[in-house]
């Protein structure tokens, strides 16, 4: 079972562009049920090797090399392609410069949408099409602002729901985490691009991905598929592909508008089957844990309300579905999207769920594909 509603209870302004507005009144329920809680394992500490310095020129001038792509280090052409895919709404998930399932699925989705043969890899033809979509550099400069380093930051993100419930907000743990999320990147990538930066001092110049700009918070509203006060949503149908761990958003002409990697249910708590609709949207939701769900690894026997914030178990946005207690939502662990399991809901990166919420709305059909 999954959460059954949400309420935006406290907008955040941890990043320079996050000029959040008051919480929406349209959805008055907090996220309840444990279904959308994360397995809060700490994937960031996965034993990966230290980041290696990489220059902007290497990436901005990168081309596809013949032969297989190395699997370990950051590959400039892959990084450039990931950024371009992100800009085009064929999201590769967390931009890291490495070949992985999320990247290859995004490549295939881009190929299919543009009449090119899906190859399961970055080919010169696909790379040329991506480069031709954008005339600017893939990596750009960014100066750290006071708001980036102001916080407040958590000293440590709790893994226990009881400890989370005692906090005022589930904020970022560092300026680096917030900046990585803003630029849709892994923290290790930002460290590789900026080996001399401490990410704690305003005024530092960083090299960052020219990622897709996050929507203005005012765009994350209760849009309607039919024209209404919230504006008409361009996405009329969403397909949740359980097998390929991908969410596809379709426009009125039947064409793909966006694709996002997704974590979709598990054997223990599978995602639903069938056709449903989005019935409401909430920004910065709180999350209410109900012990009746008795999730594995959660010991508390009482109801808990976990405060809002980017590290809330359901992330930055909740799209409430007509499948009772299920939704599409964000995550505090973007690098695990598409690689782990959920408790039934559809989990996207925070930046992808914000983007989806800005183009889908009340009445958008959501179909689960086995």
Domains of the chain by residue range: 31-44+214-369
Complete DSSP assignment for 126-145: HHHHHHTT--S-SEEEEEPP
- Residue-wise pLDDT for 160-196, tens only, equals 888 999 999 999 999 999 999 999 999 999 999 999 9
Segment 10-37 mean pLDDT: 36
Lowest mean pLDDT among 104-118, 235-249, 334-348: 334-348
pLDDT in tens, 119-134: 999 999 999 999 999 9
Query: Which among 340, 321, 250, 249 is positioned nearest to 282, based on CA atoms?
Result: 321
CB atoms within 10 A of CB 242: 16
Helix crossing, 76-87 with 101-113: angle to 10°? 50
Compute φ and ψ for 268, nearest 5 degrees.
Answer: -70, -45
Cα(367)–Cα(370) distance, rounded to whole angstroms? 10
The C-alpha angle with vertex 336 and arms to 255 and 40, in degrees rounded to 5, equals 130
**What's the CATH class of domain 31-44+214-369?**
mainly beta
Whether the full predicted model's pTM is greater than 0.75, yes or no, is yes
């Amino acid at each position: 079972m999954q959460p059954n509603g949400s309420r935006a209870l406290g907008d955040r302004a941890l990043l320079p562009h996050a000029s959040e507005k008051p919480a929406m009144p349209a959805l008055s329920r907090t996220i309840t049920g444990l279904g959308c809680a994360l397995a809060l394992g700490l994937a960031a500490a996965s034993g990966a090797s230290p980041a290696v310095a990489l220059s902007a020129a290497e990436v901005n001038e990168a081309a596809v090399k013949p032969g297989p792509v190395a699997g370990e280090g950051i590959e400039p052409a892959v990084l450039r392609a990931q950024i371009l895919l992100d800009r085009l709404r064929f999201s590769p998930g967390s931009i890291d410069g490495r070949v992985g399932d999320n990247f290859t699925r995004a490549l295939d989705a881009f190929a299919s949408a543009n009449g090119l043969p899906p190859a399961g890899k970055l080919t010169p033809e696909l790379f040329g099409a991506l480069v031709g979509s954008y005339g600017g550099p893939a990596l750009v400069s960014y100066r750290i602002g006071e708001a980036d380093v102001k916080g407040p930051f958590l000293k440590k993100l709790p893994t226990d729901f009881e400890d989370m419930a005692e906090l005022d907000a589930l904020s970022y743990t560092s300026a680096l985490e917030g900046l990585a999320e803003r630029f849709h990147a892994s923290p290790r990538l930002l460290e590789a691009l900026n080996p001399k930066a401490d990410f704690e001092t305003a005024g530092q110049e960083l090299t960052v991905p020219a990622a897709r700009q996050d929507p203005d918070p005012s765009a994350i509203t209760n849009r309607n598929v039919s024209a209404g006060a919230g504006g008409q949503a361009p996405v009329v149908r969403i397909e949740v592909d359980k097998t390929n761990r991908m969410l596809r958003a379709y426009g009125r002409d039947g064409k793909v508008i966006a694709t996002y990697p997704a974590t979709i249910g598990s054997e223990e708590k599978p995602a639903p089957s069938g056709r449903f609709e989005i019935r409401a949207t909430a920004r910065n939701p709180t999350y209410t844990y109900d012990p009746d769900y008795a999730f594995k690894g959660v010991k508390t026997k009482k109801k808990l309300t976990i405060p809002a914030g980017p590290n809330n178990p359901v992330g930055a946005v909740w799209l409430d579905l007509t499948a009772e207690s299920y939704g599409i939502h964000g995550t505090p662990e973007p690098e695990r999207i598409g690689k782990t399991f959920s408790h039934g809901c559809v989990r996207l990166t925070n930046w992808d769920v914000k983007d989806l919420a800005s183009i889908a709305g009340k009445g958008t059909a959501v179909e689960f594909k086995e």
